[in-house]
Structure 1
């Protein structure tokens, strides 16, 4: 499924409250632009049986008190068990998720600092990290532009 179809699905599944579909449409170009930097249209995310995404806490080698919490996104199912010991846990399942949905969810995951998208099957050397705070800033800019463009010029 291409990015446009994924965005349309996100809009179609948004609550029909009179605002949310328009807000999703307003941030769609931002989500699409980021998704275009990634190689795959869907990735595998390791989840618990309750569908909670598995977090990995990384520590800075030079300063172990510096930590960040990431979610790994794998290009193929077999990559999950190759690079994550949790992938072998019977209480965990890897689920393929459209990239637009992953990015959209990242914004709301306050316990997550970033998602690391592995871009080359079979290796972890080629990865793209998308930070939640960076994504939130881009989305805020999109929403601000949308708000400014939706105000009629002759409002006064």
Structure 2
């Protein structure tokens, strides 16, 4: 009896895990889940940290010349998300929508004369990113690369 139960468990466990994995892959392109993942909690649409990290990884893989299939397997993304990433990189000249939104907010706060501390806090940014934005604005006369 114990051997039969053990054997049944041993056989059914991989099957169950396989079904869960299959269903999980089906959910990746789901628009509702995709929209929820973009909710950063601030209502700014800046994406969650997980999204930002995955998008950055995909951008690097694209620059390395990886195929779509390789990118999806390495970055654990979907074709829907990969297409969105490519569109954003094309539209914003190598940047993402959440980066553009944050950079534009930083520029606005700089024009208002806010201190670096206030800018970092309000833009949910870092001092390093703030310095990078200042350099880019200086390089392109107060504009960003995607505006030139």
Superposition TM-score tier, normalisation by shorter sequence: under 0.3
Structure having the higher helix fraction is: 2
TM-score for both structures, normalised by structure 2: 0.26
Greater strand fraction, Structure 1 or Structure 2: 1
Q: Which has the higher contact order (CA 8 A, sep 6+)?
A: 1
